[in-house]
C-alpha cells in the first residue's frame, strides 16, 4: 500500500487542535517516542544547534577602544550616549579602552557604536 502524503496533509489540515493532540499522543504511544524530546533537534539540528541557540547574546557592552583625532566630538558623543557630565565623559574618553555602556540591547548598542565611530572614535560591541 502506497502512502499518500498529500491526502495525509489534507486530513491534518482539517483536524481540530484536540484531534491533533490525540493523534500526537497515539503516535507517541505506538512508536515509543516523545514530541517534546524531538523539539530541540528539530529546531536547531544536533545538540550543538540547541547549545548555540541557548548561548545567543541578548545584552551587549559598548567599548570605547580609542578616542581618535576628534576627542571633543567623542566626548560629546559619550555624553549623549551615557548622560554623564562633561568631566566624567572626558575622564571616560581619556581612560580608553573602557566600557561606555553595559548590558544594553543589541539595537541600542549598535546605535551607540555608530555614534562613537561617526565622532571619530574606535569602538566595538562585546
- Above pLDDT 70, what percent of the chain? 82
Per-residue pLDDT, 58: 76
Instruction: Say if pTM beats, i.e. exceeds, 0.95.
Output: no
Percent helix, percent strand, percent coil in the chain, to nearest 5: 60, 15, 25
pLDDT category at 68 given cuts 50, 70, 90 is: confident
CA distance readout (Å), 102 to 3, 41, 62, 98, 126? 56, 33, 6, 10, 9
pLDDT tens digits for range 8-58? 888 888 888 888 888 888 888 888 887 666 555 555 555 555 455 555 677
DSSP 8-state symbol, 125 = E
Average of per-residue pLDDT across 75-86: 88
- In angstroms, the CA 82 to CA 115 distance is 12
Size of the chain in residues: 126
Per-residue pLDDT, 39: 57
Per-residue pLDDT, 47: 52
Name which of 31-40, 75-84, 109-118 the model is least confident about: 31-40
Per-residue pLDDT, 107: 85
- In angstroms, the CA 121 to CA 124 distance is 10
Amino acid at each position: 500500500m502506497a502512502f499518500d502524503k498529500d491526502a495525509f496533509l489534507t486530513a491534518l489540515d482539517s483536524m481540530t487542535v484536540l484531534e491533533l493532540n490525540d493523534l500526537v499522543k497515539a503516535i507517541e504511544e505506538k512508536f515509543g517516542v516523545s514530541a517534546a524530546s524531538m523539539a530541540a533537534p528539530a529546531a536547531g539540528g544536533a545538540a550543538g544547534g540547541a547549545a548555540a541557540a541557548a548561548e545567543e547574546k541578548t545584552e551587549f557592552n559598548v567599548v570605547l577602544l580609542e578616542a581618535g583625532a576628534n576627542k571633543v566630538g567623542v566626548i560629546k558623543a559619550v555624553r549623549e550616549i551615557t548622560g554623564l557630565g562633561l568631566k566624567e565623559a572626558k575622564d571616560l574618553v581619556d581612560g580608553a579602552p573602557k566600557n561606555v555602556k553595559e548590558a544594553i540591547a543589541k539595537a541600542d548598542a549598535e546605535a551607540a557604536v555608530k555614534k562613537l565611530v561617526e565622532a571619530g572614535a574606535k569602538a566595538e560591541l562585546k
